[in-house]
Amino acid sequence: MIPGPYEPVEDGLVRFNLAPEAAAEAVLLGCCASRRWALRVAAHRPYPDLDALLAAADEASYDLAHDDLTEALADERSPGLDPTAPSAAHTALRAAHAAYESRFGHAFVICLAGRRPTEHLNEMLGGIRVRMTNEQDEERAIAAEELRRLARARLTHLLTNHPEPDTAGAPR
């Protein structure tokens, strides 16, 4: 369903548009684990271009009900670091994620698409530190926006079939 390496986005979009409903929904659930979101985006196929698909994904994200967002957040995992990062960095990040998850009841969600891997630790630790001061409702809105951005990055990554390794802004 997804194109081979270096095939243009049009090929990936054509395959996505022509995929059976269940296959399209499965791919979409890998981008955002809200069943309602995936059903809605899949139901509006075919998309004429990537921008139209991303606009539909955004619209579906903005319309997520409380339970839909809870479902999507439950499937997220807090982003980690490159395995070659120093062990102290991994320890600090695990502790920060644990504190965040204890306070808010879900994984810390942040889209790092477009950031260099060397920036990930600072972005994540800084983001957690700032967002830990948020009230529950405010943080939920921020997490929803980050989830929307992640879904966009994951869709783009899938349809362009980038060969580079997984990142916090790419598919799981």
Residue 123 sits in a domain whose CATH number is: 1.10.3330.10
Residues 6+ positions from 3 with CB-CB distance below 8 Å: 11, 12, 15, 159, 161
Q: Between the CA of residue 170 and those of 9, 53, 87, 133, 156, what are the distances in Å?
A: 15, 17, 24, 27, 8
Which residue range(s) make up the domain with 16?
1-172
Alpha-carbon span 36 to 34, nearest angstrom:
5
State phi, psi for 78 to the nearest 5 degrees. Answer: -60, 135
Number of domains observed in the structure of the chain:
1
pLDDT means per 10 residues in the chain (172 residues)? 48 91 94 97 96 97 96 92 87 95 96 91 95 98 97 92 44 42
Neighbours of 86 (CB within 10 A): 10
pLDDT at residue number 4: 42
> Global pTM?
0.85
- pLDDT tens, position by position, 99-130: 999 999 999 999 999 999 889 999 999 999 99
Which of 169, 128, 124, 143 is CA-nearest to residue 69?
143
